[in-house]
A = this chain, B = another copy of it.
Amino acid sequence: MSEKKQLIIPRTLKGFRDYLPETMIPRERLMEIAQQVYRSYGFVPIDTPALEYYEILSGKGSDETDKQLYKFEDHGGRMVGLRFDLTVPFARFSAQYIGQIGTPFKRYHIGKVWRGENTQAGRYREFLQCDFDTIGTESIVSDIETTLVIHDLLNAIGFESGYKIHINNRMVLSGLLEKLGLLEKNAPILRALDKLKKIGRANVAAEMVAVADITEQQADFVLQLAELKGTSDHILTSLSAMVSGNAIGEEGVEKLQTVIKNVQATGISENVVEIDVSIARGLDYYTGTIYETFLKELPSIGSVCSGGRYDNLAGLYTKQKLPGIGASLGLDRLLAAMEELGKIEKTATTAEVFIPYFEEKRLSDYLKLATELRKSGIRVEIYPEVKKLGQQLKYADKRGFLYVIIIGSEEFDQEICQLKNMKTGETQNCRIYEIGNFLKGNALL
């Protein structure tokens, strides 16, 4: 082939990204932690196709969603689209199988979604969602459990008390609005209120007056309620007084109280779970408890785990009413935050131990040693080529191995080796059959 071929430029599409090992290793770790926490409560995994009928995805009919949807005609002339979230596929899935599966049904789903968003805002067009939901029950037990799951997720990931779960209940605000005779203006008022942290009190009040067509006094009253601060007990007492006499509002306050009381009973302090009447969450379908979760060291990154209770998941696809509650862990956002906070130890290897290969004739001995170590649970990489020890150690250092086992012909004969700690640079002699126990027993891995 003497003809010169034109090379194709290797690149990804705008708004898409590759995950190199250094980022993918902690990303896989986060996914595993989420799975473990979900499973510890009996949530079960499901999966649905990336492609769905356009009709299914556009069912909600929101212009915003529709504009961002990746849609096209497939080989069979069907209009199809890439899912833009995991909620719509879950609604479709539930309508299809709930009779077979039965309720209550607790599922988790970790998967990619696609949105043709404006990339100037730093948004990606492909990202991971990590949702969990309990459907088929209106019981407050699921609201409590959802709070516990969010708590366990953040703790397991390593934030201990470095985050705060903000809880509210839509019924509290609805009750107040009903009491004020403003219930039909619920939606625009909540949408304005949702911007409180971003645009401030004055602007929110102005928007309420302008868009929701309420008086300044009414806006002020709504904002007073939203701005309640203090201990849960204090807030609950104030809320009770404000909504007093309105059934919906009173029920909302009681539910908030039940969640807080029971969450605290399991030993979780107010330090990580608090009532925050200012969170409203823009989405119209939330009807009860709602959640947002902020990192104390990095609140500006936004909520890393949000969700809430809804009355009916799958009304577009079935007559069966499916109330539920769920939340979504912002895995990629958390990963970015952890990188920024230096909470991720950069490594480009999944194995702890590296064995340089420099005694060509001893190949099968190197292989046997690695096999033995793997059998005792140690992850080991052997260098595939016979090269100078220095070069191989450089490779080991670049990749980030913790230990190097240096062993040549003489050492094999004497059944000893040198164990090099790559962090300290220290080297010590070790009997071959003791390496496994030494590495494990010293909790080095």
Contact = CB atoms under 8 A, between A and B. Distances in A.
Interface of A: 5, 7-14, 16-21, 24-25, 27-28, 32, 35, 38-53, 55-56, 59, 70, 72-76, 78, 80, 82, 92-93, 95-97, 100-102, 104, 106-107, 112, 114, 116, 125-126, 134, 137, 139, 141-142, 144-145, 148, 152, 261-262, 265-267, 314-319, 348-351, 354, 357, 363-364, 367-368, 371, 374, 379-385, 395, 398
A103 to B, nearest CB: 9
B18 A48 contact: yes
A274 B45 CA distance: 38
A348 B384 contact: no
Contacts of A261: 364
A261 B126 CA distance: 46
Contact of A266 (B106, B148, B367): B367
A46 B20 contact: yes
A384 B47 contact: no
Given A74-B116, A261-B364, A381-B41, A318 B10 contact: yes
Contacts of A11: 53, 56, 92, 96
Contacts of A49: 12-13, 16-18, 126
A265 B398 CA distance: 31
28 contacts: A5-B315, A7-B316, A7-B318, A8-B55, A10-B318, A13-B49, A13-B52, A13-B74, A13-B78, A18-B46, A18-B96, A19-B48, A20-B100, A21-B101, A25-B44, A39-B351, A40-B351, A51-B125, A51-B126, A70-B75, A75-B116, A102-B395, A104-B383, A139-B384, A145-B382, A266-B367, A266-B368, A266-B371
A26 to B, nearest CB: 10
Given A10-B96, A32-B32, A104-B383, 7 more contacts: A19-B47, A41-B374, A50-B126, A51-B126, A72-B72, A101-B348, A148-B367
Contacts of A19: 45-48
Residue of A134, A265, A351, A384 with highest tally of chain B CB at under 10 A: A384
Residue of A9, A52, A78, A148 with highest tally of chain B CB at under 10 A: A9
Nearest to A53: B13
A59 B10 CA distance: 11
A141 B364 contact: no
Contacts of A42: 349-351, 354, 379-381
A422 to B, nearest CB: 14
A48 B74 CA distance: 23
B44 A21 contact: yes
Given A24-B47, A49-B126, A350 B18 contact: no
Contacts of A144: 363, 367
B52 A12 contact: yes
Contacts of A25: 44-45
Contacts of A39: 350-351, 379
A346 to B, nearest CB: 12
Nearest to A373: B40
A59 to B, nearest CB: 5
Nearest to A97: B20
Contacts of A381: 41-42, 106
A90 to B, nearest CB: 10
A427 to B, nearest CB: 21
B350 A38 contact: yes
A148 B371 contact: yes
By Cβ-Cβ distance, the 9 closest A-B pairs, closest first, are A42-B381, A72-B72, A42-B351, A265-B364, A21-B44, A39-B350, A19-B47, A16-B49, A10-B95
A153 to B, nearest CB: 13
A361 B367 CA distance: 62
A406 to B, nearest CB: 17
Contacts of A384: 104, 134, 137, 139, 141-142, 145
